[in-house]
């Protein structure tokens, strides 16, 4: 991956996270006016899925080519932030709801808290037809999809033959239809990285893909094709199944959106060194810095939005209340993210040592060593 393309992906990652934040902040108790660019929340998650597939495939090819290295990175990345967020969210919800119960109406639930915590940390919130809320943290659903894509990718690259088939079948039996429906979108990122024909894309073709995909994305959003995909799915599976598919009910048009995003990545990769680098390289430090907080921003913003909305209070007819809440979210994400990022590296080192020890013991046992 070129330096310029890496910078572009980092910038895109942060912008996608911002789109999700704006989407969730588009609430009338916070702003009486509809926020600009507030209709791209689900599309931004599909960008994350394709991007995740690309990045995971890339780092596996470059450095994380053993199960121990791969899982030390994946688990430390998720759990260093997921554990404190999952534990803190119900506390924030209780405190915020005590101040402004109207804000939390329909956005959180406190029943069976131990079960919600356990399923959230085991990434089981969205298996089969269940959809367990991680309290008010709605965006947590996508992590419960992504972790299983990490698992299935690991099965594909670290096993072979009958073992691979059996493990993939086992994953399918555990996760059920919802997570499997969006797996092709995530896999598109892997295809963009691994398909050698796409790696040889010329500058002219890349420029056409880069610009054409932007136009295609704009048309996709303008004509609200996500809603059309939901309607198609309802007509195919019926109202009951459509409701139970929750975040996967848009899958039919998410495939098209995923292909648009994948085409954009192919084009951006081809033109980045000659075209995009002129803009991005001088901004490398702020882009890398902001990208480092993307995961924290994505995972923390929803419970913080509701809590600070309740704690600060204000007039939704003006702009001050909105920016006060947004500022409080960003400062909290910066403080918490600075702590969790430091702990992530320590956790990764410990996990790697433990996993390598287990891997070595298994290797010796397989050879009959005492």
The pLDDT tens digits of the residues spanning 78-128 come to 999 999 999 999 999 999 999 999 999 888 887 899 999 999 999 999 999
- For the segment 127-133, the average pLDDT, to the nearest whole number, is 94
- For the segment 267-272, the average pLDDT, to the nearest whole number, is 97
CB 86 within 8 A of CB 117: yes
Q: How far apart are CA 44 and CA 139, in angstroms?
A: 11
Give the start-to-end residue ranges of the domains of the chain: 3-356
- For the segment 199-225, the average pLDDT, to the nearest whole number, is 97
Between 307 and 64, the higher pLDDT residue: 307
| pLDDT at site 110 | 79
Least confident of 5-19, 43-57, 94-108, 142-156: 94-108
The pLDDT tens digits of the residues spanning 309-367 come to 999 999 999 899 999 999 999 999 999 999 887 788 899 999 999 998 887 655 444 44
Is residue 247 over pLDDT 90? yes
- For the segment 161-179, the average pLDDT, to the nearest whole number, is 97
| pLDDT at site 89 | 97
| pLDDT at site 21 | 97
Is residue 3 over pLDDT 60? yes
- For the segment 46-69, the average pLDDT, to the nearest whole number, is 96
| pLDDT at site 340 | 85
């Amino acid at each position: 991956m070129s330096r310029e393309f890496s910078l572009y992906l980092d910038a895109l990652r942060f912008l996608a996270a911002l789109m999700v934040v704006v989407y969730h902040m588009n609430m009338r108790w916070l702003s009486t006016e509809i926020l600009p660019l507030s209709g791209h929340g689900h599309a931004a998650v599909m960008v994350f899925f394709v991007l995740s597939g690309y990045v995971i495939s890339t780092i596996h090819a470059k450095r994380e080519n053993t199960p121990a290295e791969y899982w030390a990175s994946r688990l430390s990345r998720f759990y260093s932030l997921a554990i404190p967020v999952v534990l803190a969210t119900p506390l924030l919800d209780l405190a915020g709801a005590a101040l402004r119960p109207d804000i939390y109406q329909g956005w959180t639930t406190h029943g069976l808290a131990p079960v919600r915590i356990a399923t959230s940390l085991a990434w089981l919130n969205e298996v089969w037809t269940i959809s367990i809320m991680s309290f008010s943290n709605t965006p947590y659903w996508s992590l419960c999809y992504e972790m299983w894509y990490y698992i299935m990718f690991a099965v594909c690259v670290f096993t072979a033959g009958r073992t691979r088939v059996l493990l993939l079948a086992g994953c399918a039996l555990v996760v059920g239809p919802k997570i499997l429906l969006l797996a092709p979108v995530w896999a598109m990122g892997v295809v963009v990285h691994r398909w050698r024909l796409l790696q040889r894309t010329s500058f002219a073709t890349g420029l056409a893909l880069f610009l054409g995909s932007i136009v295609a994305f704009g048309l996709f959003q303008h004509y609200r094709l996500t809603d059309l995909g939901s309607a198609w799915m309802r007509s195919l599976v019926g109202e009951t199944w459509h409701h139970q598919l929750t975040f996967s009910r848009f899958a039919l048009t998410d495939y098209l959106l995923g292909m648009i995003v994948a085409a954009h990545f192919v084009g951006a990769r081809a033109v980045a060194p000659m075209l995009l680098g002129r803009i991005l390289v001088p901004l490398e430090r702020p882009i890398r810095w902001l990208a480092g907080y993307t995961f924290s921003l994505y995972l923390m913003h929803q419970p913080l939005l509701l809590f600070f909305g309740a704690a600060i209070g204000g007039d939704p007819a003006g702009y001050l209340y909105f920016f006060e809440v947004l500022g409080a979210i960003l400062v909290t994400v910066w403080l918490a993210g600075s702590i969790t990022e430091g702990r992530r590296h320590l956790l990764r080192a410990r996990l790697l040592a433990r996993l390598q020890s287990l891997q070595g013991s298994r290797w010796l046992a397989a050879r009959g060593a005492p």
